[in-house]
Amino acid sequence: MTMTAAPLAVLVSSRAVLPTASGSLTISPATVSVSPATGKIVSVVAEIVPRTSFPAETTYLDYTPKLLLPGLVDAHVHLNEPGRTEWEGFWTGTRAAASGGVTTVIDMPLNAIPPTTTVRGFQEKLAASEGQCWVDVAFYGGVVPGNADELKPLVEAGVDEFPAISPKDMALAMKTLKDCTTTLMFHAEMEEEPRATGPSNDDDDDPSTDVTAYQTFLNSRPPTLETAAVREILSAAHVAPSLHLHIVHLSAAQCIPLLKEARAKGVNITAETCFHYLGLSAEEIETGDTRHKCCPPIREGRNRDRLWEELVAGDACIKTVVSDHSPCTPELKLLPEAAAPGRDEERKSGKEETNNNNNNNNKTNPGDFMSAWGGISSVGLGLPIIHSAAKQRGSKPSKTPTITDIVRLCCQATAEQVGLSHRKGSIRTGMDADICVFDDADVWTFTRADMRWKNKCSPWEGHEFTGRIKETWLRGRKIFELGAQNGGFAEGKPFGESITEKRTV
């Protein structure tokens, strides 16, 4: 049998975001040849090579003037399977990702049952994910009291690390991992000690406290909860000087000077922020609209401005932007009747009145910000969110991220953060052929019908965006095309992989 070279697909555009020799990014015309057989980018030419230069059997697609971007790497997603699959699952969560140009998601250890805090829990998760992933999925492990012995085996199994519970557990985790090539991540919210005197902010028994007012919830989680946690982490950083420390979902801008000062002293610490902290503000959240509840909370517009500024600052401490996609059932969101959406077909079967699975001990109180589950659904919506918000801010005096900044924050740096920069997050020869075709001029409104995650509930419903994903390619094959059959999933069968290689960078 004669071996012939497998046919290539060639993606062309007058505008692609490509890496330069120095590692920065630039917009350039590009001809990107990908191999569906190997899943890799075969070549990148920084000009438009005409169709006639390729063999007749080559698939040649000219997307001009749409943008060719690397597939996004969303480094913070909760898929909740197994155990809380009614909240989200591999199938629906990764379809939502694929529809938004996201080709890699990193699953968080918490909220699934069992959580990924032991090697056995991790293996159960892997088994549950099999055959269900429309994009590639990697995993974080979790630090909980008493599992220090599991941490090194989890790292060996290709799992990154997640937050500690008490300062003691945190220091122990740092000590255990100090010589590992991994990242220790922190959900940075903790009560200050001793509690500040004076009027208490979170006196739930006070009948004058309106739990449907967003301000009540915001007052209960002030910036000091975040700054206190950051200070605690920094005070222990000397235990593991070479370990990479990372703050997940940073919301309070007051943390920025603390982190910058530590970085200037050589502490290896970074932070991520989330699309909802950049695209939403406390002032616009209506009474009882618990779709906006997340922890730490969405803060005021002036806080948001400082987060935006840090994204493009010199030696920025905020290196990445992620979704923190964290859904639950509408029942747990305690939505007011008018805002309550359905969860796929099940709700039509008449089961929606049974609230027995509601873990919440409080009486169901629609619009109660204090009792509602905290978490926002947005996986796959990040690029339209950040692109639209950046465009809107264009007139502001402060520097605003460009499309190359966005690719740095959502593709290149997120891949680096999770140790996948050798194969993800960049349009470069030899990398996984993960491509997002983005029409940055398309103006559209996000509706419930556009939600591909399991529970059709998100504060982004009804928002108008500029920029929409037209196609997504995973390892050399088109997995999503807007408007195509089967909800855009032309391939019919998912071929996303679980990434379990032990990280080395």
CB 278, CB 303: distance < 8 Å: no
Closer residue to Zn ion, CB minimum distance, 74 or 324: 324
Q: Which residue is nearest to Zn ion (CB)?
A: 324
CB of 412 to Zn ion, least distance (A): 22
Closer residue to Zn ion, CB minimum distance, 324 or 439: 324
Stretch that binds Zn ion, among 52-60, 170-178, 320-328, 350-358 (CB under 5 A): 320-328
Closer residue to Zn ion, CB minimum distance, 69 or 294: 294
Q: Which two tokens stand for residue 474?
A: 């995973």
Stretch that binds Zn ion, among 47-55, 111-119, 198-206, 316-324 (CB under 5 A): 316-324
Closer residue to Zn ion, CB minimum distance, 324 or 416: 324
Cα atoms found within 13 Å of the Cα of residue 44, Cβ hemisphere only: 24
d(CA 11, CA 175): 47
How far lies 488's CA from each of 73, 100, 272, in Å? Answer: 20, 11, 31
Stretch that binds Zn ion, among 92-100, 208-216, 220-228, 321-329 (CB under 5 A): 321-329
Closer residue to Zn ion, CB minimum distance, 324 or 331: 324
Stretch that binds Zn ion, among 38-46, 140-148, 317-325, 359-367 (CB under 5 A): 317-325
CB of 67 to Zn ion, least distance (A): 29
Closer residue to Zn ion, CB minimum distance, 186 or 473: 186
CB of 249 to Zn ion, least distance (A): 6
Closer residue to Zn ion, CB minimum distance, 324 or 440: 324
CB of 245 to Zn ion, least distance (A): 17
Stretch that binds Zn ion, among 233-241, 319-327, 439-447, 497-505 (CB under 5 A): 319-327
Closer residue to Zn ion, CB minimum distance, 75 or 431: 75
CB of 301 to Zn ion, least distance (A): 23
CB of 275 to Zn ion, least distance (A): 13
What single letter denotes the amino acid at residue 173?
A: A
Closer residue to Zn ion, CB minimum distance, 86 or 324: 324
- Return the SS3 of 84: coil
CB of 326 to Zn ion, least distance (A): 5
Binding flag, residue 226, Zn ion (CB under 5 A): no
Sign, Cα dihedral of 169, 171, 177, 182:
positive
Sign, Cα dihedral of 202, 273, 444, 342:
negative
Closer residue to Zn ion, CB minimum distance, 17 or 112: 112
CA 338 to chain centre: 28
CA 46 to chain centre: 30
Closer residue to Zn ion, CB minimum distance, 9 or 274: 274
Closer residue to Zn ion, CB minimum distance, 324 or 450: 324
d(CA 393, CA 400): 7
Q: Which two tokens stand for residue 300?
A: 């005021």
Binding flag, residue 324, Zn ion (CB under 5 A): yes
CB of 253 to Zn ion, least distance (A): 19
Q: Which two tokens stand for residue 399?
A: 């520097």
Instruction: For residue 469, give the nearest of 68, 31, 47 by alpha carbon.
Output: 68
| Count of residues that bind Zn ion according to CB under 5 A | 1
Binding flag, residue 161, Zn ion (CB under 5 A): no
CB of 251 to Zn ion, least distance (A): 12
CB of 159 to Zn ion, least distance (A): 16
CB of 77 to Zn ion, least distance (A): 8
Q: At what angle do helices 119-129 and 148-156 cross, to 10 degrees?
A: 40
Stretch that binds Zn ion, among 86-94, 302-310, 322-330, 423-431 (CB under 5 A): 322-330
Stretch that binds Zn ion, among 8-16, 27-35, 324-332, 449-457 (CB under 5 A): 324-332
Binding mask 189-208 for Zn ion (x = CB under 5 A): --------------------
Which are the contacts of 270, defined by CB distance < 8 A and separation ≥ 6? 244, 245, 246, 247, 259, 317, 318, 319, 320, 417
DSSP class of 387 = H
Instruction: For residue 484, give the nearest of 502, 498, 470, 494 by alpha carbon.
Output: 470
3-state secondary structure 166-195: CHHHHHHHHHHHCCCCCEEEEECCCCCCCC
Q: How many helices (H) and strands (E) does the chain have?
A: 13, 15
CB of 255 to Zn ion, least distance (A): 17
Strands of 318-322's sheet in order across: 183-187, 244-248, 269-274, 318-322
Instruction: For residue 108, give the nearest of 305, 292, 324 by alpha carbon.
Output: 324
Binding mask 276-315 for Zn ion (x = CB under 5 A): ----------------------------------------
Bridge-based pairing of strands 25-34 and 9-19 is antiparallel
Stretch that binds Zn ion, among 66-74, 212-220, 323-331, 496-504 (CB under 5 A): 323-331
CB of 115 to Zn ion, least distance (A): 12
The maximal CA–CA distance of the chain, rounded, in angstroms, is 83
Instruction: For residue 258, give the nearest of 271, 239, 272, 274 by alpha carbon.
Output: 271
* Cβ neighbours around 119 below 10 Å, total: 14
Closer residue to Zn ion, CB minimum distance, 109 or 419: 109
Binding residues (CB under 5 A) for Zn ion: these are 324
